Chains A and B, each alone.
Chain A
Amino acid sequence: MADLTTDFLGIKSINPFWLASAPPTDKEYNVRRAFEAGWGGVVWKTLGSEGPPVVNVNGPRYGAVYGADRRLLGLNNIELITDRDLYVNLEEIRRVKADYPDRAVIVSIMVPCEEDAWKAILPLVEETGADGIELNFGCPHGMSERGMGSAVGQVPEYIQMVTEWCKKYYSRPVIVKLTPNITDIRKPAAAAHAGGADAVSLINTINSITSVDLDLMAPQPTIDGKGSHGGYCGPAVKPIALSMVSEIARAEETRGMPISGIGGITTWRDAAEFMVMGCGTVQVCTAAMTYGFKVVQEMAAGLSQWMDEKGYASTADFVGAAVPNVTDWQYLNLNYVTKARIDQDLCISCGRCYAACEDTSHQAIWMHEGRVFEVNDAECVACNLCVDVCPVEDCITMERLPGGTVDARTGKVVSDEYANWTTHPNNPMARAAE
């Protein structure tokens, strides 16, 4: 069994699976049960300033997008930060951390964008003995209307400023949690870096309206006939999160900066994908909210088995391993020529590939007598759509044409040489090959 112990910013946890700041980490009762179930760490539900806590709506706060059999694919929420008293939370954090020294306990914070507010709360958090803090610059609803959350996260100068205050008044690691509701994720990440942040975590939730009630003519969840955009999370957001993580992992200014990956992580495989994309730990919210704390057991066992299969001794062996292979389109090898191949033994003759290619791609699939489907190499551009719509895994695959063969579509001999767009004759900006 591979060792899942993780060291992130000097913070040790028994595995890289942390619960993200959200309802699962809202109170001592939950967090203790989460640790008993096997979670490596938690980011405590975001704390606000001293004084009367925020209030939540008293109607529904979630909306959902479903797949087959009501499988939850996306969740939308309009919840705010913790609605419990600051001192109650701090006392609970202190107790839990004392009892679980081998787990990470990170405190998420969101207070107004004023130095005094941060100066006031940070020493209180420091006293709990928690391992670090996470700055919630991400919440896209409610708090942002009050100049906090994503209202800060969308202005890189503010991120840098607040991060600097935190580094000034707090001695342990500072993680900046980024909002995805921004055009270029590299900018806030660079600002956090410039402010001295030890790490970034991403993504927080994405602005969303999951559905509209067509009788009430209002967004859902609907509160007394009105709705408000919420924050989207769950499996549906994973591709967006992965892309943003990869951007930060390979950008010049932030390369090598520790990342805690968040967004739609549901299985060990999702976690592994975030980790090879540069994340030292991963955080999970929706999967736990959908299936309960026990999901971590599948994640831990799965990651461990995969590491054994691959021969990785520790998570550090593969964190970031895929980053060098993320590149710009212009550097992709245009001499890599493939053709779709349909395995006639696996084919169940549904004809989906035919409908997709014939109606919307390149008319490269023949439908023969008896519902036999075959690829016409002379038309196939290797787009992969047929593979994606085929209901049978591995029935359609992409086969590379070896160098020296003729591509029936272009009539050209396939070359073994690497050649990309930057030197392509059709590129008006092409640099002459040296």
Chain B
Amino acid sequence: MTSPFAPGIVSGRLTPDDLARNFGDLHPPLDAHEAHVAADRCYFCYDAPCVTACPTGIDIPLFIRQIATGQPEAAGKTIFDSNILGGMCARVCPTEELCEEVCVREVAEGKPVEIGRLQRYATDSVMATGRQPYVRAEPTGKRIAVVGAGPAGLACAHRLAMKGHDVTIFEARDKPGGLNEYGIAAYKTPGGFAQAEVEWLLTIGGITIQNGKALGADLTLEALQAEYDAVFLGMGLGGVNALAVDGADLPGVGPAVQFIADLRQSPDKGALAVGRNVVVIGGGMTAIDAAVQSRLLGAENVTIVYRRGREAMSASTWEQDLAASKGVRILTHVQPLAVHGTGGAAEIELEYTSDVGGKLTGTGETFRLPADQVLQAIGQKLAGETGLTLEGGKIAVTGPGRTSLDGVWAGGDCALGGDDLTVTAVAEGRDAAEDIHSKLMAEG
């Protein structure tokens, strides 16, 4: 084992036991009794606000009642009817900003029904059977290409397969799952859940995944359009915004998403190198996850620096509190000026900012923090050129994901609208599938 205080970017700062504990389940599953007690708190509200707040519109009061009456599998089916990745969403949704935020018991008592954990209980019950409650409709003979095996692409493919269409997913990476596999924090989805979920989802049949096939490199949109009856694009945001300061090219400086992807792919967390002093730049979920996981790997000092105030951070208050509870320091109204070091990052130079009427300016007051590792999490962007009309850097869509090209749909992070959450990607993929189905069936 390396000393926790070893300088530089090194591996093995913590014991295997500590690492195992740190990367265990953030919210352990409910057991049957706990689930009953939690389910009993649901009031079965009329026109329940939680349903409206769920981007996939899961019938939450119904599924909770099904848990209460002793049928978690039926509850699971209610969830999957609206959201086939309900298992992942149960783990990663920021419920404190979605369903649980508007739960009448949150409003009344500050203690919502534990919808997320109940959802996990129900979906786990179904997945434990190894079966899914859906069968394919009669084959339609229609063939659809889906680009990207992330939440949007998978949800779209599943719904299309259910309707009897044949789906081929082209995925640039080696494994399906998108950010479920490469992005989401390890402690939210431990135990290889992302791959297990994809395997379970594929048991519907009619879906083929071709890994290592990237649109732009290995395929063109024109070719897909020519060969398939419809195309759905769900390739997320493959590019990262670059850090435009001096020293950004020093070893030790890199994108947070890459750090997280490496972490997710490493079976042995002890082999992962992390700095003693880590500085993360950004204010979103990625910044939080990179910072928290750096701490969990054993970094001594982890600081998030964000150029505006806390209220402007896209990470929820709950996420910010989680980071604080893991010992991450959040500095706001601070922007990076330069990274210093010889042969590798050693310090980051920062400047205070003032935010007047939305206009951000440096105050001129600067300071430095030790930083042997700098992770930039200042946003992802669409990678590659599709020839489609863009808006705000994303693929412009109308209604259920229709792009500027006839026969081409898009959804998830790569498309305009939505919150850049797993659950919105699922909703958009599903809705596009319904639209594709209607369109193809109308064409005959």
Contact = CB atoms under 8 A, between A and B. Distances in A.
Contacts of A349: 45, 49, 104, 107
B311 to A, nearest CB: 24
B356 interface: no
B37 A350 contact: no
Contact of A350 (B33, B40, B45): B45
Contact of B33 (A70, A371, A392): A70
Interface in B90-112: 104-105, 107-108
A177 to B, nearest CB: 36
Interface residues of B, number: 15
A57 interface: no
Given A350-B45, A351-B45, 4 more contacts: A349-B104, A349-B107, A367-B46, A392-B108
A355 B46 contact: yes
B96 to A, nearest CB: 18
Interface in A332-360: 348-352, 354-355
Contacts of B45: 349-352
Contacts of A391: 43
A68 B43 contact: no
Contact of B47 (A68, A351, A392): A351
B200 interface: no
Contacts, number: 35
A69 interface: yes
Interface in A56-105: 68-70
Interface string B25-65: 00000000100110010011111110000000000000000
Contacts of B48: 351
B88 to A, nearest CB: 29
B108 A352 contact: no
Nearest to B108: A348
Interface of B: 33, 36-37, 40, 43-49, 104-105, 107-108
A348 B107 contact: yes
Contact of B105 (A70, A348, A371): A348
B32 to A, nearest CB: 11
Contacts of A68: 37, 40
Nearest to B44: A352
Contacts of B47: 351, 367, 371
A159 to B, nearest CB: 43
A312 B188 CA distance: 60
A72 B33 CA distance: 15
Nearest to A356: B46
A394 to B, nearest CB: 14
B49 A371 contact: yes
Contacts of B46: 350-352, 354-355, 367
A69 B46 CA distance: 24
Contacts of A348: 104-105, 107-108
A367 B49 CA distance: 13
B313 to A, nearest CB: 28
Contacts of B49: 349, 371
Interface in A352-411: 352, 354-355, 367, 371, 391-392
A348 B48 CA distance: 12
Contact of B43 (A70, A352, A354): A352
29 contacts: A68-B37, A68-B40, A69-B36, A69-B37, A69-B40, A70-B36, A348-B104, A348-B105, A348-B107, A348-B108, A349-B45, A349-B49, A349-B104, A349-B107, A350-B43, A350-B45, A350-B46, A350-B104, A351-B45, A351-B46, A351-B48, A352-B44, A352-B45, A352-B46, A354-B46, A367-B46, A367-B47, A371-B47, A391-B43
A349 B52 CA distance: 14
A346 to B, nearest CB: 9
B92 to A, nearest CB: 28
Contacts of B36: 69-70
A149 B48 CA distance: 52
Contacts of B37: 68-69
Contacts of B105: 348
Contacts of B33: 70
A350 B45 CA distance: 5
A352 B108 CA distance: 15
Contacts of A371: 47, 49
A68 B37 CA distance: 6
A342 to B, nearest CB: 14
B83 to A, nearest CB: 23
A242 B49 CA distance: 40
Nearest to A69: B37
A107 B32 CA distance: 44
B97 to A, nearest CB: 19
Q: 4 tightest CB-CB pairs across the interface, nearest first? A: A351-B46, A348-B108, A355-B46, A68-B40
Nearest to A358: B46
A391 B45 CA distance: 10
Nearest to B105: A348
A46 to B, nearest CB: 36
B250 to A, nearest CB: 54
Interface in A299-353: 348-352
A207 to B, nearest CB: 26
A348 B107 CA distance: 7
Interface in A128-168: none
A69 B108 CA distance: 21
Contacts of B43: 350, 352, 391
Nearest to B45: A350
A354 B104 CA distance: 15
Nearest to B68: A68
A371 B36 CA distance: 28
B113 to A, nearest CB: 11
Contacts of A70: 33, 36
A355 B43 CA distance: 12
A375 to B, nearest CB: 15
B222 to A, nearest CB: 49
A356 to B, nearest CB: 9
B330 to A, nearest CB: 33
Nearest to B109: A348
A70 B68 CA distance: 12
A8 B44 CA distance: 48
A391 B49 CA distance: 16
Contacts of A354: 46
A360 to B, nearest CB: 12
A131 B295 CA distance: 74
Nearest to B43: A350
B31 to A, nearest CB: 13
Contacts of A355: 46
